[in-house]
Chains A and B, each alone.
Chain A
């Protein structure tokens, strides 16, 4: 590569990195600015203040801790549900033979075609009939039910189990292990990477979801972070530092998760495009 080419190449990379990173630095900076400084073009605040954080941790109702706890609680339960159901069904579809298996798997693939927006009205009607659209704790069950299972995750787990070498099972079979023991002793311990992928993507998707929480969650004490941001953005229309504090605080956990689990996310992108 010629020198000029090389430098222009790096200039381009750095230019686009600035476009992707600086907006986030700006939200971080704004969250530490006093209101008078919000529209000034300095990235480092002249008079940094923690006022915005004091507001989101203390003054707003529900406060950040509540939003965070709700987001975490909902995301963790959904992750556990997805892991259990995807592992069970993925294993059965990949490795066990039983009459009607392919028809059932075809139904799973069909479920991938049904968009959430089509489910909105009938799901809401069903939840109302079940008495889960309320301001009490059972309101959480509505979210868990909607998100209980993901066809894409079942598909992903099945694909993974299909690629696992049969010899691994054979050794255990000779030792007299039945299909259930094979699952718990051989398949699951060797499925850690794909389980991590499912867990990370499900966590990210649930943590970031605005659509279902904005429709189902009735009481402010149940709001999640994205729903809280939507609500407070309306309330504090011009008071940007607290909103930016919420933006920063809601992004940090997902950033940490991404940094920690990057290889699993890239794995799945590879997997999903390979399947296409």
Chain B
């Protein structure tokens, strides 16, 4: 006790605060500098080498990047990822908004429905995708429901093999993820809906606006923060698609590379071909795409979150 008292006499309160501050951030900052910052620059470094299983052989400059854009499978992966993002983002956002509007109304059981709608978002992608593969099998429940409604699934263009036909595999995964992520999107919209001031809508109703007009001209514009957030997180998540693709289509994104995504492509380059330099270059390309989207999001939102407030 006497010792600490002496120390506090030697160090001013300000110095002591700074001392504790550095102590508290030292290990976290060391980890960030190693696991994120250092790793980031190491990724760029590796991407400029012909780097095989025995380590780097020679510096190839930007050749790995050039190689990527001349590989038809990589271009296919980019096309798949873009197609996936372009479809899944609007669907999951619209569905999330719709569900949020449904459970936001003052009705009995809205808590139950909110939990039920969020339910698919909590399980692991491994569990859900495996379940989905089972339900979508040619003899599975999905085709059973179609047959119940009189669809002759055996004579469909894909014989009801939704995930093993290259024409429908990606769309099936889009359906899967629209279903699983819409619950999360619903929560984002709910959060925004609960902050809305109802006086605008009430005033509009007094002026004789219809329910539809209130929605399109009042509610939708006021939900702009949620729209931007949901679309940005949705796009970033969509470009990182990996779990569902490898579970349903294996490492090749079968059938016929229809489930090959950019991340799956990195996985292949790294662990099947052991082209670490090349794989790293693809990682950097993916980062640049995601980074640009994030910057776009930040600029749309304003820079509030970026300033360390005092």
Contact = CB atoms under 8 A, between A and B. Distances in A.
Interface of B is mostly: helix
Contact of B283 (A111, A118, A246): A118
Given A16-B99, A109-B306, A178-B16, A208 B187 contact: no
Contacts, number: 269
B8 A97 contact: no
A149 B122 contact: no
A235 interface: no
A9 interface: yes
Interface string B240-255: 1011001100100000
Interface string B167-195: 00000000000010001100110111011
B184 A269 contact: yes
A93 B20 CA distance: 11
B270 A230 contact: no
Contacts of A19: 179
Contacts of A189: none
A120 B42 CA distance: 11
Contacts of B8: 178
B14 interface: yes
Contacts of B109: 13
A108 B306 CA distance: 11
A111 B183 CA distance: 27
B74 interface: no
Interface in A201-259: 204, 207-211, 214-215, 225-227, 229-230, 233-234, 240, 243-244, 246-247, 250-251, 254-255, 258
Interface in B61-112: 99, 102-103, 105, 107, 109
A92 interface: yes
Interface in A85-132: 85-86, 88-89, 91-93, 96-99, 101-102, 104-111, 113-126
Interface-centre pick from B119, B137, B286, B297 (highest chain A CB count, 10 A):
B119
Interface of A is mostly: helix
Interface stretch (B28-36, B199-207, B212-220): B28-36
B43 A122 contact: yes
A215 B45 CA distance: 21
Contacts of B125: 208, 210, 226
B23 to A, nearest CB: 8
B211 to A, nearest CB: 10
A17 B113 contact: yes
Interface-centre pick from B109, B122, B141, B194 (highest chain A CB count, 10 A):
B122
A21 B116 contact: yes
Nearest to B263: A117
B197 interface: no
Interface-centre pick from A9, A99, A179, A240 (highest chain B CB count, 10 A):
A179
Interface string A163-206: 00000000000000011100100000000000000000000100
Interface residues of B, number: 98
Contact of A250 (B25, B127, B247, B286): B127
Given A117-B266, A125-B46, A230-B247, A93 B308 contact: yes
B305 A125 contact: no
Interface stretch (A23-31, A49-57, A58-66): A23-31
Contact of B24 (A26, A91, A208): A91
A205 B46 CA distance: 29
A121 B283 contact: yes
A183 B270 CA distance: 44
A4 interface: no
B43 A118 contact: yes
A120 B102 contact: no
A114 B16 contact: no
A211 B43 CA distance: 18
B18 to A, nearest CB: 4
Contacts of A2: none
Interface string B284-310: 101100110010010001001110110
Give 4 nearest A-B pairs by CB, closest first.
Answer: A226-B126, A208-B124, A96-B21, A98-B21
6 contacts: A16-B99, A93-B25, A109-B305, A113-B291, A266-B187, A269-B184
Interface of B: 8, 14, 16-18, 20-22, 24-25, 27-29, 31-33, 35-37, 39-40, 42-43, 45-46, 99, 102-103, 105, 107, 109, 113, 115-117, 119-120, 122-127, 130-135, 137, 139-141, 144, 179, 183-184, 187-188, 190-192, 194-195, 225-226, 228-229, 236, 240, 242-243, 246-247, 250, 262-263, 266-267, 270-271, 276, 279-280, 283-284, 286-287, 290-291, 294, 297, 301, 304-306, 308-309
